[in-house]
Structure 1
Amino acid sequence: MGQPLIDEAMRKAAVAWVEVADQPARLVWCVPVTGSLWLVTGPGEQQLPGLAGADRAVVTLRGSHGGRVVSWPAAVRRLDPAGERWAELAPQLAGKRLNASGDAASLVARWAAECEVYEFAPAEGPVAAAGSLPDTSLAEPPRESPARRAVRTPFRLHRVRRR
């Protein structure tokens, strides 16, 4: 059940949780092409710390019900902007990029200059699937982020009377 499950989950994937170098898994958008998942990192795109020096990662995909279906180890390879495959794959990724500023050609040019495109290919069978998925919640407290802010008491313009 291993490889067919990974292939089917990859075909339907739009997002994946990727764990690199024992850091907490991060949700990233991805595009399945030619039996691998592809993603873009860099300025103006998603960030995945530790990916630049990694050759392995653990990818977790969800099913149509929204829950985790499979986790598998992946071989990580960077796509070279000067290579032959760039001209084939980068436009496909740009076409799937939601809310991109500019057209696909300018997006591909920006990616070649500033960003990195990575391939996540299945390295071996799943580490967690159907019978071995945990029954408990894997929820964690929110990580510190510049997007979080302290909660303040609401501002009241007029005095509110209590009855």
Structure 2
Amino acid sequence: MKLILTHEVTGLGAPGDVVEVKDGYGRNFLLPRNLATPWSKGGEKQIETIRKARKAREIANLDDAKAVKQSLEARTVAFAARAGQGGRLFGAVTPSDIAQAVVAAGGPSVDKRKVEIPQPIKTTGTHKALVRLHADVSATVTIDVVATTA
């Protein structure tokens, strides 16, 4: 099945890429989650629009990405969440929450779609998240989840 990616898919490609995937993967995962659209001649026109939008959002060059990486890795981001007994959270910390917490901690603006959490964050304590800044640069962000009483 030939598809045009509309969002970044780890291990597959970036927005605007035309990919060939197995029918089940495309039909059951990519299309229902709006991560891709079916390829067509009319869809080819969308590719340029998607690529322009991606270029506007991403960091321009490698030096800027390395500077943002140093800024992110130098700070610990504190995040307050409601938790029950034993430090278990009500819900989980999402990539959107992490992106907002980075900005609130005085860090650079981070696109929530570029934040990857290796395992769901459902407990208090210190956790790590990966932020893809550039094709060649990724930063590891330290997140300190603190329980609140509300």
Q: Give the number of the structure whose residues are more often strand, by fraction.
A: 2
With normalisation by structure 2, the TM-score equals 0.28
Which is helix-richer, 1 or 2? 2
Q: Which has the higher contact order (CA 8 A, sep 6+)?
A: 1
User: What is the TM-score normalised by the length of structure 1?
Assistant: 0.26
